[in-house]
Amino acid sequence: MFPYIPISKQDEEKMLQTIGVDTVDELFTDIPDHLKLKRPLDLPKQKSEIEIRRIIQKFAEKNTAACDKLCFLGGGVYDSYIPSIVPYITSRSEFATAYTPYQPEISQGTLHGIFEFQTLVANLTDMHCSNASLYDGPTAATEAALMSFDNKKKGDTFLISSTVNMVTRQIIETYLKYRDFKLVVIDEKDYVTDVEDFKAKIGKHVVGVLVQSPNHYGLIENYTEIFAGAKENKALSIMYADPSSLGILKTPGEYEVDIAIGEMQQFGNAMHFGGPHLGFMAVTKKLMRKMPGRIVGQGLDHDGKRAFVLTLQAREQHIRRDKASSNICSNQALNAMGATIYMSLMGKQGIRDVAINATNKAHYLYEKLVAIDGVEAVTTKPFYREFMIQVKDHVAVNNKLSEAGILPLLVVDAEKNILQVAVTENRTKEDLDYLAKTMEVIS
């Protein structure tokens, strides 16, 4: 039977001798003494593999996975259906273990995949060009904010609508904390961006304006006036868009924004307990060389055959790296590959169909829920696949839902007892009727 660290006393001595120290403790001399544990870890004596597996399995069972319960959670992460071809292809070792594609001579498959991802993102958002992906939606939004400051050196303020997801706003705030940049929130009115407040806050000092579509409450806003105001003041227009909505809602390109960003987890990627997810960024041709992150380009090899290679690297890591708004080189290649497979499988019509399906279901459920005594509508504004309801006691409702096998709903406003319901194409009519029936009993 092995102990937890499978090394014999003799092996240990030999290894220590080879590197020239007497004890294992000597390897940790750099760590201050008061931080050291000074006793063995509190672990049971060695156990067999089969015993350990049983114990860990018990721990794991304490989690409730989204697939075990009924999920109406949204707010930026969505339980969308993942076609089985996606993990089938992404689990191939060529993709699953591929390292950063520095060397085009050995990485044509990965580079080609990223090139297709960029093309699909550009098509979906109606923008000129996309990068190879970023960590997640909120960090993509942060990169867009940094780009805005870099693009307009004479400005010092970045505007964010208060209807942008709070998490996104907090992450931007954290990144900018030690920079001389100001973040100003545009107030909301009746759950949409207050255009009058925007007009009061926009000016020549503003470098960029960020809004979210559909907004954090699931509502569809009209951003025409806001983007026009940004343009007039030479501030960048930035739209954080739900990619799944772009088959039916106005796209960033149609709005003529400068930067489109967002979270693409729901395209072929699991919710992963909140990450890793998949941020995307697409920009106009004018901003192409200011876009952070990797870009894969198409060229010809010395035999004149089509080949792919990292391109425009001067911005991020070579001769202009000190001038770049960001030196981020990472991307989410494997998740981007999942999204690439998803998008090519669904196609233009499929992405549209999924969006219409989710919208119809969400509206069906909304009508059912607000008809229940004790459940009130919060706003009559148009929504996509996420909506708010007001209940009498959100804690009681969520407890009862849990007991009924439904994951607790997202609390938008605890004081006002406002909850949010998200409906993806993954929910069936039976699921919706079950939630409505359960709510009827408890409200």
The four Cα atoms 409, 415, 417, 420 give a dihedral, to 10 degrees, of: -40
- Specify the residue, 66 or 312, whose C-beta has the smaller distance to another protein: 312
Shortest CB 154 distance to another protein, Å: 8
Structure tokens at 127: 């923008």
With contact defined as beta carbons under 8 Å apart, do 147 and 236 qualify? Answer: yes
Shortest CB 286 distance to another protein, Å: 9
User: Nearest-CA neighbor of 297 among 119, 142, 99, 85?
Assistant: 119
User: Nearest-CA neighbor of 289 among 150, 420, 434, 191?
Assistant: 150
- Specify the residue, 53 or 323, whose C-beta has the smaller distance to another protein: 323
Shortest CB 258 distance to another protein, Å: 13
Shortest CB 283 distance to another protein, Å: 14
- Specify the residue, 312 or 356, whose C-beta has the smaller distance to another protein: 312
Shortest CB 319 distance to another protein, Å: 5
With contact defined as beta carbons under 8 Å apart, do 266 and 243 qualify? Answer: yes
User: Which residues contact another protein (rule: CB under 8 A)?
Assistant: 153-154, 234, 289, 314, 319-320, 323
- Specify the residue, 154 or 177, whose C-beta has the smaller distance to another protein: 154
Shortest CB 159 distance to another protein, Å: 20
CA–CA separation, 52 and 3 (whole Å): 12
CA–CA separation, 131 and 119 (whole Å): 9
Element at 412 (helix H, strand E): strand 410-413
- Specify the residue, 289 or 429, whose C-beta has the smaller distance to another protein: 289
Structure tokens at 17: 């001798």
With contact defined as beta carbons under 8 Å apart, do 133 and 117 qualify? Answer: yes
Task: State the sign of the Cα–Cα–Cα–Cα dihedral 283, 263, 187, 217.
Answer: positive
- Specify the residue, 58 or 153, whose C-beta has the smaller distance to another protein: 153
